[in-house]
Amino acid sequence: MAKIQFPASSSLADINTIVSQYEQADGPLTSMGNDGTYTTLTFNAEADLPANVAVVAAQVNNQPVIPPNSVVVCTGTIFIAGTLTPAAATRAN
């Protein structure tokens, strides 16, 4: 299990970049959250690589925004541009 911290000031685009890199080179995203200082993300290198990388987005009214033909991978409160934000990661089928 890769357990990483990502700077709180990171933009949503940067968060998606790091998620994309780990999902391609390590394994699928399994959880996200925060430790009060950083966004925390975990990836499972024992699992097969996903066909499509996960995409992180802020929730709306505390509900994940799920694009068509996608499923929720995980949800958690993460830092987006310095603000703790409920977010969800989805993956296209």
Task: State the Cα angle at 6 between 47 and 50, rounded to 5°.
Answer: 25
Return the structure tokens found at 15: 């968060």
Instruction: Tell which one of 12, 28, 31, 38 touches other proteins (CB under 8 A).
Output: 38
Nearest-angstrom CA–CA distance, 91 and 16? 12
Q: What's the residue count for the chain?
A: 93
Instruction: Tell which one of 28, 29, 40, 75 touches other proteins (CB under 8 A).
Output: 40
Least Cβ distance, residue 51 to other proteins (angstroms):
14
| Positions that interact with other proteins (CB under 8 A) | 1-7, 14, 17-18, 21-22, 24-27, 35, 38, 40, 44-46, 49
